[in-house]
Amino acid sequence: MSPQPVRLTPAREQGQYLNSPAPAGPIAVRDTKSISTGVALIQCKVIFAGLIKRVAGTSEMTIALPAGATLGDLLRDLTARFGQEFEDKILLNGDLANHAVVMIDGEYAREMGGMQARLDRETPAKVEIVLLGPPLLGG
């Protein structure tokens, strides 16, 4: 089965390119090259669960990122797509919020370097983002 082409649209910031939500089917192969930029891309499957699924408006999508991308790059891409509400719920002072659980290929992102965790692997990375909910206040 041949890989599906990556559909790119210009991002709002920093001249990056973002692909539209992934069609159903297999993830494209690693190191697909963007026709418009010639930059090597990696495919990252993102799964949204818990409260963050409402903010994203979808349960999963596939995103093309430049080779060498980190979790921080992915979260900046997602913030550009979903807005400030996404960032407010996932990040705290530029790092992962305590109530946000992010896993990369089944491993906790915090144990892999947090925001600096690399997403380029032997196979396309699968990132699971679960928002358990902000801490409750009061008593």
Domain boundaries, the chain: 8-131
pLDDT band at 23 (very low <50, low <70, confident <90, very high): very low
Q: What is the pLDDT of residues 78-118, one digit of tens each?
A: 999 999 999 999 999 989 998 889 999 889 999 999 999 99
pLDDT for residue 90 = 92
- 8-131 topology per CATH: Ubiquitin-like (UB roll) (3.10.20)
Query: What pTM did the predictor assign?
Result: 0.69
**What does the alpha-carbon distance between residue 85 and residue 82 come to, in Å, rounded to a whole number?**
7
Tens-place pLDDT, residues 121-135 = 767 778 888 877 655
